[in-house]
């Protein structure tokens, strides 16, 4: 039976790169995003061409009722859910020095990047536990998308860094809580990935990469993240709950 994977923020960027890889890996997909499906029709059609059954759910992950409704729709459509990929996230609308940053920006980033994933994980984890109790052979896992910013300080976007550091701790918490049910929880830390989010700073990072920011002298791409997620979904590292995979071209390797 094909695994069913819910990807938040899955209609474009890193989330879509993950979705493409998993569609090719014989998974069925629940794509959660904030816009109408028609805004991403070409991407959804491509996923179906790759062989996936695709359920698109327009859902604001910060809305408790919307999260609950989405899971009910998933249950009705597939009758199961094997994997949650917490990918949805935003950068600050304005990069501001932490001496000047606003509470409004902080609250927005935290709600989307940390609070939403925390409580969608709670909701999905309870459903996964139900599935495991009724059918212990069911394979489930949860994958959190954080960032090198979980450990690398960027004072011009402090709220983003703090949100991703929070995701890192959430990964450990959920790994500890779900270990008894054999539900692994993983974290992926992308580096500099070429997406809409980084489009505004392309020139900056082209220069930094050319000057040696990463050991591997290139941008990362959504498909790089997709490969790491696929490894986890297949169960290749099933005995590694709570672990972090850096997909950053060696950006965070300390070199003397």
For residue 160, indicate whether it is catalytic.
yes
Q: Is 32 exposed, middle or buried (0-12, 13-18, 19+ CB in 10 A)?
A: buried
List helix spans (H) across the chain. 13-24, 41-49, 64-78, 103-110, 116-134, 158-178, 202-210, 222-234
Provide the CA 32 distance to its chain's centre, in angstroms. Answer: 11
Tokens 């990918």 found at: 87
Residue 211 tokens, joined: 């000057």
Reduce the DSSP state of residue 217 to 3 states and report it: coil
C-alpha angle with apex 161: 167 to 105, nearest 5 degrees? 105
The catalytic residue among 16, 40, 56, 160 is 160
- Dist CA 22 CA 231 (whole Å): 10
Tokens 């069913």 found at: 4
List helix spans (H) across 6-137. 13-24, 41-49, 64-78, 103-110, 116-134
Tokens 């910013």 found at: 149
Which residues are catalytically annotated?
A: 160
């Amino acid at each position: 039976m094909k695994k069913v994977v819910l990807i938040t923020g899955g209609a474009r960027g890193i989330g879509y790169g993950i979705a493409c890889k998993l569609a090719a890996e014989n998974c069925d997909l629940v794509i959660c995003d904030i816009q109408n499906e028609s805004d991403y029709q070409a991407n959804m059609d491509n996923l179906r061409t790759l062989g996936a059954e695709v359920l698109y759910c327009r859902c604001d992950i910060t809305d408790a009722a919307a999260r609950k409704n989405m899971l009910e729709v998933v249950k009705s459509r597939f009758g199961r859910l094997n994997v949650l990929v917490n990918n949805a996230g935003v950068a600050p609308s304005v990069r501001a020095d932490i001496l000047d940053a606003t509470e409004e920006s902080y609250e927005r980033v935290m709600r989307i990047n940390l609070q939403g994933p925390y409580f969608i994980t709670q909701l999905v984890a309870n459903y996964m536990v139900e599935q495991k109790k009724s059918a212990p052979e069911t394979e489930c896992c949860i994958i959190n998308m954080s960032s090198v910013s979980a450990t690398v300080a960027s004072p011009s976007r402090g709220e983003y860094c703090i949100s991703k550091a929070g995701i890192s701790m959430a990964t450990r918490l959920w790994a500890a809580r779900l270990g008894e049910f054999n539900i692994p929880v993983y974290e992926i830390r992308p580096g500099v990935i070429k997406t809409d989010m980084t489009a505004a700073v392309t020139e900056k990072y082209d220069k930094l990469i050319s000057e040696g920011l990463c050991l591997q002298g290139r941008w990362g791409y959504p498909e790089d993240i997709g490969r790491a997620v696929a490894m986890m979904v297949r169960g290749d590292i099933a005995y590694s709950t709570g672990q972090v995979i850096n997909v950053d071209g060696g950006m965070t390797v300390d070199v003397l």
